[in-house]
Amino acid sequence: MLLGFSLLLSLSAGAQGFDSELHLSTDDEICWYRICSALPGMEDYAMTDFNGMTPLMVYYNNAFLMQTEESEEHSQWKLTAGEDGKVILENRATGRQLGNSSISDENCNVTQFALSDATGFTATALGNNAFRLESIEDDGVNRCLALAEKDATAPQTYPSENESASIVGWRFLPIEIQTGIGSAKGSSTVIRVADKRISVSGGEKWQLFNAQGEEMPRTIRLATGVYMVKTGQKTVKIFVP
């Protein structure tokens, strides 16, 4: 069963600025995220561009939530800076950007991919490693990117409590970070997270530290939490789900 996205009308008047814990990709460094629902029981469902995942000659212009492997590039996204502090989401497999203009589909406003350059979303930290993504559409209505079951009625009320575990909560899990790609040396370092392990290829020697700054063995399976990977003079924060 495919799960689509809906944009729900927000009853919250204000939105905080972009949270610095989310990593924006640049020409010199790219972080690929798996963006999962924070709704209990939906943690394995990731935001996915379905195009190219089926042999059927069908063009899909809206995104889906799907249970996919961590290695599935259709479920990986990079975040880049848009105007006014907004975040643009670009899919790794297709290069398409998630738009902020929805269309009406029965009881839901379904998110579409941008036909040209995307405007982007405002990201607000909700706690528990969850974020809210929202934008003002062409009709002047502020809507949140939310989970809605395909062919089912979407909730019409914006959650006022426990937002981090609601239909508008999203968790950004770093799958791979590539650094030094714009350097003159032509070499780059790739940091990957898979099966509770962190691996680093290319570039310089590296060290692994926990959140308390204690050095960790590089080959063991890790507990859920935040870790630091140091390569040369650069340190990157990694979250292991």
Residue range 173-205, pLDDT digits in tens:
888 888 776 555 556 788 888 788 888 887 668
The pLDDT of residue 136 is 87
Which CA distances in Å does 199 have to 29, 36, 70, 147?
Answer: 17, 22, 14, 32
Q: Give yes or no: residues 57 and 103 share one domain.
A: yes
Q: Give yes or no: residues 187 and 124 share one domain.
A: no
Place of tokens 């962190």: 198
Q: Give yes or no: residues 66 and 106 share one domain.
A: yes
Query: Environment class of residue 165 by beta-carbon count within 10 Å: exposed (0-12), middle (13-18) or buried (19+)?
Result: middle
Structure tokens at 230: 């140091």
Q: Give yes or no: residues 88 and 166 share one domain.
A: yes
Q: Give yes or no: residues 42 and 70 share one domain.
A: yes
CATH number of residue 108's parent domain = 2.80.10.50
Question: Picking from 2-16, 116-130, 166-180, 227-241, which range would have the lowest pLDDT averaged per residue?
Answer: 2-16
Helix, strand, or coil here: 225?
strand
| Beta-carbon contacts of residue 21 (< 8 Å; ≥ 6 apart) | 125
6 has a pLDDT exceeding 70: no
Residues 234 and 115: their CA atoms lie apart, in Å, by 37
Total domains in the fold of the chain:
2
Q: Give yes or no: residues 204 and 236 share one domain.
A: yes
The pLDDT of residue 92 is 94
Q: Give yes or no: residues 32 and 121 share one domain.
A: yes
The stretch 41-54 carries a mean pLDDT of 85
Q: Which of 172, 38, 47 is nearest to 113 (CA)?
A: 47
Q: Give residue 211's pLDDT band: very low, low, confident or very high (50, 70, 90).
A: confident
Q: Give yes or no: residues 62 and 124 share one domain.
A: yes
The pLDDT of residue 4 is 57
Q: 0.85 cut: is pTM over it?
A: no
The stretch 12-39 carries a mean pLDDT of 69
Answer with the one of 156, 173, 190 that is the final residue of a domain.
173
Q: Give yes or no: residues 196 and 146 share one domain.
A: no
Helix, strand, or coil here: 76?
coil
Q: Give yes or no: residues 12 and 93 share one domain.
A: yes
Determine the structural domain holding residue 47 and report its residue range.
3-173
Q: Which residue has the higher pLDDT, 101 or 186?
A: 101
The pLDDT of residue 2 is 47
